[in-house]
């Protein structure tokens, strides 16, 4: 959510930002907010005038009563009664205007960074750099679930009977590899100075609307029936929510946290849940990184965070590339975003495994996360990035480490977490 002062003083800049994101259907919101804001400020001004008049009249009533002029005092009391009724109407209008303004402001996209490429959707994202040499072996790379099944590591049929499509059972060495990846990612981030955290896996609605746009909420979140609770789609939601309605001393910044959680997603409007695969699913686990910092430091942290992802994947011998997300591919709260994609030797192309985002002060403004600095209080900047998200990480790891005999080589960095095992072999 942007500062309404910007919309008042430079509405054309807001309109231009909306156009850059190819959301022209939101352009009428600008004029609607300006008009509602005008009416609200008029109501506030009239309310303040009425309260001052009421206070002055109350003082006059007291003086007249002391002077024994009861009749005159009663007449003024009648006027005070009229003012009280007027104030009730004014306060009701103020509340109505504020609600209407907020509902519209929440739909206005955040200002994108000037370096963001302009494009309609993810097909116009821009490749930045490649790391590692993508290899296509001379032997066939099977579909990822076929690799898992050949190693007795996945049971989709049982999961389908228990929960439907979009779920899975991992078993044996594949399940252990899954846990090892998460443990390695946790320790990797701790080694970078991040504090490990396991957050709540459910959050209230005021946190949901604070961390994401309404469109994202509708497409992703599962609501708990009869409760003001939602299952988290990523630990970013509850980790940023941790600071709702807080004032952070500036000396404590930056806050650098890495969190583990299961993630639950409806995937409504996405490319579809796969019957056989585990690339797009309703439930998975993830290690996340979160930073809360001063505004002037957020872009430096943004660069540092996505580089951590590249470093981690390269430490597991997985070739990756980075893509700058174009304007039309940015969610409404994001200022700038970069995807890390891993190489798939089976598909002979890259696929998304991490997404690093700078959200500026959008989440902080919605959740009232402020910083107490020398010059006064201001809104913090928030950033998030995926460390690893199995099973997507597993897909990249299995395909890039599959051997000709059907075994999967375990990268050296993961071997301590696998009891020293150097490969997963068919039983």
Give the residue ranges of the chain where pLDDT is below 50.
Answer: none
Query: What's the structural domain count of the chain?
Result: 2
Q: CATH number, domain at 17? A: 1.10.287.40
Rg of the chain over CA atoms, in angstroms?
A: 28
Same domain, 261 and 159: yes
Any idea what the CATH number is for the domain that residue 200 is in? 3.30.930.10
> Rounded distance, CA 327 to CA 103, Å?
23
* CA atoms of 395 and 341, how far apart (whole Å): 12
The per-residue pLDDT for 422 is 97
Q: Are 185 and 228 members of one domain? A: yes
Same domain, 235 and 384: yes
Q: Three-state SS across 165-198?
A: CCCCEECHHHHHHHHHHHHHHHHHHHHCCCEEEC
The structure's pTM equals 0.90
Q: Do the Cβ atoms of 127 and 147 come closer than 8 Å? A: no
192 with 313, same domain? yes
> Contact, 171 vs 153, CB < 8 A?
yes
Note the pLDDT of residue 62: 86
pLDDT digits (tens, 9 = 90+) for 213-266: 877 888 889 999 999 999 999 999 999 999 999 999 999 999 999 999 999 999
Beta strands 169-170; 195-197: pairing state: unpaired
Question: Do 127 and 67 sit in the same domain of this protein?
Answer: no
115 within domain boundaries = no
- Residue 241 and residue 155 share a domain: yes
Quote the domain boundaries for residue 346.
122-424
Alpha-carbon distance of 336 to 116, in angstroms, equals 6
Q: Are 273 and 162 part of one and the same domain? A: yes
Do the domain assignments include residue 400?
Answer: yes
Q: Residue 4's pLDDT is what?
A: 94
DSSP SS3 for 33: helix
Q: At a CB cut-off of 8 Å and minimum separation 6, what does 166 contact?
A: 267, 273, 274, 280, 281, 282, 283
The answer as to whether 226 is a domain residue is: yes
Look at residue 332 and tell me if it is in a domain. yes
The bridge status of strand 230-231 relative to strand 349-358 is: unpaired
Are 94 and 169 members of one domain?
no
CA–CA separation, 230 and 222 (whole Å): 6
Instruction: Give the count of beta carbons closer than 10 Å to the beta carbon of residue 227.
Output: 10
Cα angle value 356/289/287 (rounded, 5°) = 105
Find all residues with CB under 8 Å of 241, minimum gap 6, and list them: 203, 207, 210, 211, 367
Q: Are residues 78 and 34 in the same domain?
A: yes
pLDDT per residue over 332-355, tens digit each?
A: 999 999 999 999 999 999 999 999
What's residue 76's pLDDT? 87
- For residue 163 the two structure tokens come to 């929960």
* Domain shared by 58 and 183, yes or no: no
* Confidence at residue 219, expressed as pLDDT on a 0 to 100 scale: 83
**CB-count exposure of residue 366 (10 Å: 0-12, 13-18, 19+):** buried
């Amino acid at each position: 959510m942007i500062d309404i002062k910007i919309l008042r003083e430079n509405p054309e800049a807001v309109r231009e930002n909306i156009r850059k994101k190819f959301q022209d259907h939101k352009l009428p919101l600008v004029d609607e907010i300006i008009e509602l804001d005008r009416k609200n400020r008029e109501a506030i001004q009239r309310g303040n005038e009425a309260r001052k008049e009421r206070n002055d009249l109350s003082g006059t009533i007291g003086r007249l009563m002391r002077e024994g002029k009861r009749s005159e005092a009663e007449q003024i009391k009648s006027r005070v009664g009229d003012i009280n009724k007027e104030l009730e109407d004014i306060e009701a209008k103020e509340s109505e205007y504020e609600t209407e303004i907020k509902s519209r402001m929440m739909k206005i996209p955040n200002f994108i960074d000037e370096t963001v490429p302009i494009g309609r959707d993810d097909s116009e994202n821009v490749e930045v750099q490649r790391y590692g040499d993508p290899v296509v072996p001379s032997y066939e790379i099977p579909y990822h679930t076929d690799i898992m099944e050949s190693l007795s590591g996945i049971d989709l049929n049982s999961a389908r009977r228990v929960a439907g499509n979009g779920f899975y059972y991992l078993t044996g060495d594949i399940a252990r590899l899954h846990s090892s990846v998460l443990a390695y990612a946790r320790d990797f981030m701790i080694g970078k100075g991040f504090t490990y955290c396991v957050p709540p896996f459910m959050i209230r609605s005021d946190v949901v609307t604070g961390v994401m746009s309404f469109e994202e909420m509708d497409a992703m979140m599962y609501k708990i029936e009869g409760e003001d609770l939602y299952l988290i789609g990523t630990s970013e939601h509850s980790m940023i929510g941790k600071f709702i309605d807080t004032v952070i001393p500036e000396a404590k910044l930056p806050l650098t946290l890495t969190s583990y959680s299961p993630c639950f997603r409806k995937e409504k409007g996405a490319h579809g849940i796969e019957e056989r695969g585990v690339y797009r699913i309703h439930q998975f686990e993830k290690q996340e990184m979160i930073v809360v910092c001063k505004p002037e430091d957020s872009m430096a942290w943004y660069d540092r965070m996505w580089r951590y992802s590249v470093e981690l994947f390269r430490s597991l011998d997985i070739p990756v590339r980075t893509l700058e997300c174009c304007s039309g591919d940015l969610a409404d709260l994001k200022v700038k975003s970069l995807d890390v994609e891993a190489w798939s030797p089976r598909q002979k192309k890259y696929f998304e495994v991490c997404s690093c985002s700078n959200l500026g002060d959008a989440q902080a403004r919605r959740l009232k996360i402020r910083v107490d600095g020398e010059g006064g209080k201001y809104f913090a900047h928030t950033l998030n990035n995926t460390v690893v998200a199995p099973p997507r990480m597993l897909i990249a790891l299995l395909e890039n480490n599959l051997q000709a005999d059907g075994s999967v080589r375990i990268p050296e960095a993961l071997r301590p977490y696998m009891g020293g095992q150097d490969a997963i072999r068919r039983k």
